[in-house]
Structure 1
Amino acid sequence: MSATESAPPPEGTPSPGKAGVPGAAPRRVPGQDPRVRWVLTLAVVVVGALTIRPMGFSGRGPAVTALFVVSSLALLARALPENAVSPRLTLLWLTLGIVAAAGLIGASSSGTSYLFAYFLAGHIGYRLDTRPALVLAGLCSLLCGGVLYLRLGPGHHLLPWALGLAAGTPVLIGIINRGQRRAVEAVIAAAESAERAARAEARTAVLTERGRIARDVHDVLAHSLAGINMQLELADALLDTGDLEKVREANNKAHGLVKESLKQAQWTVHALREDALPLLESLTAMLESSGHRDALTVTGAVREVPSPVTQNLLRIAQEALTNAARHAPGGEVGVELAFTASSTTLRIRNRPATREATAGAGSGMGLIGMRERVALLGGTVTAGPVTEGPDRGGWQVEAVIPG
């Protein structure tokens, strides 16, 4: 350890990996041990007190004692945190310390007074920016060298004037130490920033997954329970008419919706577990279970698509089929799955209703959910009435997923 032992890091700085955590220990830059610094500083003060002469209340004793006290306080002040002392006050304190150290060299007749100048010069390089550090270190060399060269004190014959002129050279070691400290702090700050970014990314992923689960729950519960509720309300209304055949028909539809809900729940569990679902087979099974056998048309070369694409296309199909059953009962439904080199397209079109739709409002989240699903995959979705062709007056939903 040398005179350039560094100052402690600013108090309250978050420790690595615990940025912003209340109560976290202050960050300590590697290579800085406050205990070693204190031992070294106290050793210089003690050695100076034992060797520097004269000190006392007669002759030059009071002047040497005063200069020794000022130099010791300036040296001990190295332990002050950087954020506790303003740059202007730091410059003033170090300048006063250098003047006192040079005066101590000239006033004392023996001892290790020169150590104060060396240690303070090293700390100047560590505490101040390069330009003011070099200026103040040059002043230190000129003062200490001048005191010895001009033989201003009784102890000039003990030390060569070149030794005094070299008193400012430890500033270079201090500058190097400061650069190393700042480099380490930059690395630690970058690591903390990377960790905060990773935490933010993880939180975003959690929120995205929650949104996906919310859409899946909506698709399964809102649609299924709404359909079951409509059939049960219809059966209850038909009881007053005494038409048991229609009551039985409504009851059977409710049972069918319950079975369909169980299948949809299984699809949802698969999706939440991120199991790979075969798109073509799953879509075919969905259409058959909803009473639209042979409604699927496939164009292009069939290929496997990523699991998120399969999951979201199945949910979009489920939403569209549920809306068709609710708003256009009896209308024929056609589904087209098109594979191209650059995209996968799902198109669901239903013709106008052939019988009166049962009153009942949806949750209003269907189309919003479709758009959210497709946006997550970088695709587009369109929904609107069919204005021409044999399906005129019907409704069409088209989702295009790139890749």
Structure 2
Amino acid sequence: MQWVVTLAVVVVGALTIRPMGFSGRGSAVAVLFVINAVALLARRLPEHKVSPRLAVVWLTLGIVAAAALIGVSSSGTGYLFAFFLAGHIGYRLETRPALVLAGICSLLCAAVLWFRLGPGHEQLPWTFGLTTGTPVLIGIVNRTQRRAVRAAIEAAESAERAARAEARTAVLTERGRIARDVHDVLAHSLAGINMQLELADALIDTGDLEKVKAAHDRAHSLVKESLKQAQWTVHALREDALPLLESLTAMLESSGHRGVLTVNGTVREEPPQVTQNLLRIAQEALTNAGRHAPGGAVAAELAFAAASTTLRIRNSPATRAVTAGVGSGMGLIGMRERVALLGGTVSAGPVTEGPHQGGWQVEAEIPR
């Protein structure tokens, strides 16, 4: 629309401004008309291609040429160039220089008519010249609106980028959670099953069928336990609510530790995420106890306080030979990640006193 209006001003000026020719005053009018047309058409140039200093020079020359055209021409719409250039001054320049340049435009046009510097003064009163700078206010309003729209667009784009970054973070967090669950189910369970099957293979050569059968039965029970762990993982991924006390008791019993759980405080149901992570920490601790301290006694404590829920798993030193093996190194890291997501703390270290002295303890505290 602005482009159409600009062309219309130029075309109407070419048809109405007189005299216009190739000699005398007509040539002066023609030259000034061309300068005004170029200055007005140049307002379509993108802002990033015209520096502020160059814009001031170009618009200053434009309003000088517009004032001169009003004075030299005897008739026509030459004053439209001054009006439209003043409006573009407000749009292109900052408020202070725009107002100054628009004031100069008004004074120049009024002076041309007041001092009767050309034949055009007979057509227009000098007070009309003062009004040529007023469109600068429209330009300033348009510039303000344009900046407001641009700021709103940039804010929306920034919000969209932040939303995409948050979504990527959520995806990575979920991947980390699934990776920990897969590690807990596969690495622990398969390591235990593999250990029992290797033991059974070694015992076959001894001919001790009772021990072979015991190792086989233990591997079979680990398979059943792995199936339970897989079910717990499915529940966790679906965010299904699991009863913490019952699930922890079943986990201890399936690991061969009956009646070792002590409960302190008033039992309450915890949020699914808290239950899930405490069960995974207990599973990690029990697996490590079976791997590094076979035959050692295990004790578990679940404490419900007003401000937190605490789980402690202790094991005594090994009473049987420890089978050499290398863990994945992700167990303790997974514990810390789980607890950190809930704003809690976890510690793991040797037991220095009590019936489990010389063993190992894992303690996780989750705030409410």
TM range (shorter): over 0.9
> In the alignment, which residue of structure 1 is the partner of 2:331?
366
Q: CA RMSD in A?
A: 1.0
Please, which moves more after superposition, 283-292 or 313-322? 283-292
Deviation per CA, 1:301-333: give whole Å up to 9, x if none. Answer: 111211111110000000000011111111111
> In the alignment, which residue of structure 2 is the partner of 1:60?
25
Deviation per CA, 1:51-77: give whole Å up to 9, x if none. Answer: 000111122111111111111111111
Give 2:70's match in structure 1, choosing from 105, 113, 116.
105
> In the alignment, which residue of structure 1 is the partner of 2:60?
95
Find out whether 1:306 has 2:271 as its counterpart. yes
Q: Give me the whole-angstrom Cα distance separating, in 1, the residues matched to 2:206 and 2:34.
A: 109
Give 1:341's match in structure 2, choosing from 298, 302, 306.
306
> In the alignment, which residue of structure 2 is the partner of 1:221?
186
Matched AA of 2:3:
W
Deviation per CA, 1:126-175: give whole Å up to 9, x if none. Answer: 10001111111111111111101100011101001111111111111111
Deviation of 1:186 after TM superposition, in Å, equals 1.3
Equivalent residues in 2 for 1:126-275, closer than 5 Å: 126-275=91-240
Deviation of 1:361 after TM superposition, in Å, equals 2.0
Deviation per CA, 1:212-260: give whole Å up to 9, x if none. Answer: 1111111111111111111111112222222222222212111111111
Deviation of 1:270 after TM superposition, in Å, equals 0.8
Give 1:317's match in structure 2, choosing from 282, 294, 305.
282
SS in 1 for 2:121: coil
SS in 1 for 2:188: helix
Conserved? CA contact 1:126–1:178, under 8 Å: yes
SS in 2 for 1:60: helix
> In the alignment, which residue of structure 2 is the partner of 1:80?
45
Q: Give me the whole-angstrom Cα distance separating, in 2, the residues matched to 1:190 and 1:302.
A: 48
Matched AA of 1:337:
L
Q: Give me the whole-angstrom Cα distance separating, in 2, the residues matched to 1:329 and 1:237.
A: 18
Q: Normalising by structure 1, what TM-score?
A: 0.90
SS in 2 for 1:49: helix
Q: Give me the whole-angstrom Cα distance separating, in 2, the residues matched to 1:161 and 1:259.
A: 102
Find out whether 1:114 has 2:79 as its counterpart. yes
- Structure 1 runs not aligned, ≥5 long: 1-35
Equivalent residues in 2 for 1:360-399, closer than 5 Å: 360-399=325-364
Equivalent residues in 2 for 1:16-27, closer than 5 Å: none
SS in 2 for 1:304: coil
Q: Give me the whole-angstrom Cα distance separating, in 1, the residues matched to 2:127 and 2:201.
A: 111
> In the alignment, which residue of structure 1 is the partner of 2:254?
289
Question: Percentage identity across aligned positions?
Answer: 82
Deviation of 1:289 after TM superposition, in Å, equals 1.2
Matched AA of 2:274:
V
Conserved? CA contact 1:108–1:154, under 8 Å: yes
Higher relative contact order (CA 8 A, sep 6+): 1
The total of aligned residue pairs comes to: 368
Conserved? CA contact 1:230–1:360, under 8 Å: no
Q: Give me the whole-angstrom Cα distance separating, in 1, the residues matched to 2:59 and 2:206.
A: 102
Matched AA of 2:106:
S
Q: Give me the whole-angstrom Cα distance separating, in 1, the residues matched to 2:186 and 2:277.
A: 17
Q: Give me the whole-angstrom Cα distance separating, in 2, the residues matched to 1:301 and 1:123.
A: 76
Q: Give me the whole-angstrom Cα distance separating, in 2, the residues matched to 1:164 and 1:277.
A: 84
Q: Give me the whole-angstrom Cα distance separating, in 1, the residues matched to 2:114 and 2:242.
A: 91
Deviation per CA, 1:249-293: give whole Å up to 9, x if none. Answer: 212111111111111011111111111111111111111111111
Q: Segments of 4+ in structure 1 off by > 3 A? A: none
Q: Give me the whole-angstrom Cα distance separating, in 2, the residues matched to 1:113 and 1:387.
A: 99
Deviation of 1:202 after TM superposition, in Å, equals 1.0
Deviation of 1:99 after TM superposition, in Å, equals 0.9
Q: Give me the whole-angstrom Cα distance separating, in 1, the residues matched to 2:325 and 2:215.
A: 15
Q: Give me the whole-angstrom Cα distance separating, in 2, the residues matched to 1:53 and 1:259.
A: 103
SS in 2 for 1:390: coil
Deviation per CA, 1:85-105: give whole Å up to 9, x if none. Answer: 111111111111111111110
Q: Give me the whole-angstrom Cα distance separating, in 1, the residues matched to 2:48 and 2:140.
A: 18
Q: Give me the whole-angstrom Cα distance separating, in 2, the residues matched to 1:245 and 1:389.
A: 36
Q: Give me the whole-angstrom Cα distance separating, in 2, the residues matched to 1:251 and 1:285.
A: 22
Matched AA of 1:323:
N
Q: Give me the whole-angstrom Cα distance separating, in 2, the residues matched to 1:336 and 1:205.
A: 33
SS in 2 for 1:325: helix
> In the alignment, which residue of structure 2 is the partner of 1:355?
320
Q: Give me the whole-angstrom Cα distance separating, in 1, the residues matched to 2:247 and 2:31.
A: 92
Deviation per CA, 1:11-58: give whole Å up to 9, x if none. Answer: xxxxxxxxxxxxxxxxxxxxxxxxx11111111111111100011112
Q: Give me the whole-angstrom Cα distance separating, in 2, the residues matched to 1:245 and 1:69.
A: 111
Matched AA of 2:114:
Y
Q: Give me the whole-angstrom Cα distance separating, in 2, the residues matched to 1:358 and 1:257.
A: 17
Conserved? CA contact 1:101–1:113, under 8 Å: yes
Q: Give me the whole-angstrom Cα distance separating, in 2, the residues matched to 1:67 and 1:386.
A: 97
- Structure 2 runs not aligned, ≥5 long: none
Structure that is richer in helix per residue: 2
Matched AA of 1:272:
L
